[in-house]
Amino acid sequence: MQARSGPAVVHAAVVESTQAVAWQLDAEGAPDRTVVVADHQSAGRGRRGRAWTDEAGRSLLASILARPRVEPARWATYSLMTAVAVAEALRRLSGLDTRLKWPNDVLVRGRKIAGILVESRVGTEPRLVVGIGINLGQTAFPGDLADRATSVALETGHAPGRDAVLATVLDEFDVWRGRLEGQGFAEVRERWLALAETIGQRVTIDAEQNLIGVDVPDEELARRRAAWTAPPLKAARGTLAKYLRLVKSASEGCVTDEWP
């Protein structure tokens, strides 16, 4: 592995996952904003433990160690903030019409071009590791990914240099993180909604529950929060995990109309 001056950027050829390396560096005392970049991951992962596959050298695979400067109840907003940052970086660098799919997939023409994974740990000091994967140079995707994934090369006919993409992503990440931590969630929320692909559409979450993605005005959201109560646990159908997700969604302002 190699590191360069400035905010630490650690480069590796092949790792199990950049997330795992970032957590290892955290355990060794790495500072805030340490970045891990790899050419290939042998066991990359996405949200909910899904596998993230890549062709060596064809993607930006990076993880950022962050010491969050907001209360734990707002840590989930780092995922949305990073999605905005990645979308803006790709717009700026390649002119792509990037859009966002809840909560943090980055799309072009309805196909996924980038994904984000945020993991947290609480100890003497809270930490987050923000994982970012961007498809850069792929010219084809296998199997069922062919209709669901895309890359910068497929969209523009040109694969940008990974270092240039990383520099632009980090620049946007720093800007949007500064806004989130210094000014609150409002500006991030506004930009996320402006880029959202699914606002007003019926979507399926985990194939278990149908929701309408809408922008709820702040005053209406406050009213719903005040009026909402969790279903009695004994009466709730489904698993405890579903119940806890519903409670978590309500506490963070995500509005649901039914319990699965």
Question: Tens digits of per-residue pLDDT, 174-189?
Answer: 999 999 999 999 999 9
Whether residues 159 and 100 fall in one domain? yes
Last residue of a domain, one of 156, 179, 195: 195
pTM for the full model?
0.76
The pLDDT assigned to 123 comes to 81
For residues 88 and 140, state if they share a domain: yes
- Note whether 221 and 180 are same-domain residues: no
Residue 257 lies in a domain: no
User: What is the total count of domains within the chain?
Assistant: 2
Residue 18 and residue 41 in one domain: yes
Same domain, 56 and 160: yes
The answer to whether residues 184 and 211 belong to one domain is no
Q: What is the CATH number of the domain that holds 100?
A: 3.30.930.10
Mind spelling out the 3-state secondary structure of the chain?
CEEECCCCEEEEEEECCHHHHHHHHHHCCCCCCCEEEEEEECCCECHHHCECCCCCCCEEEEEEEECCCCCHHHCCHHHHHHHHHHHHHHHHHHCCCEEEECCCEEEECCEEEEEEEEEEECCCCCEEEEEEEEECCCCCCCHHHHHCECCHHHHHCCCCCHHHHHHHHHHHHHHHHHHHHHHCCHHHHHHHHHHECCCCCEEEECCCEEEECCCCCHHHHHHHHHHCCCCCCCCCCCCHHHHHHHHHHHHCCCCCCCCC
Residue 222 in domain: yes
111/217 same-domain check: no
29: in domain: yes
For the stretch 115-147, pLDDT in tens is 999 999 988 889 999 999 999 999 999 888 989
Range of 14's domain? Answer: 2-195
The verdict on residue 206 lying in a domain is yes
- pLDDT tens profile 4-14: 444 699 999 99
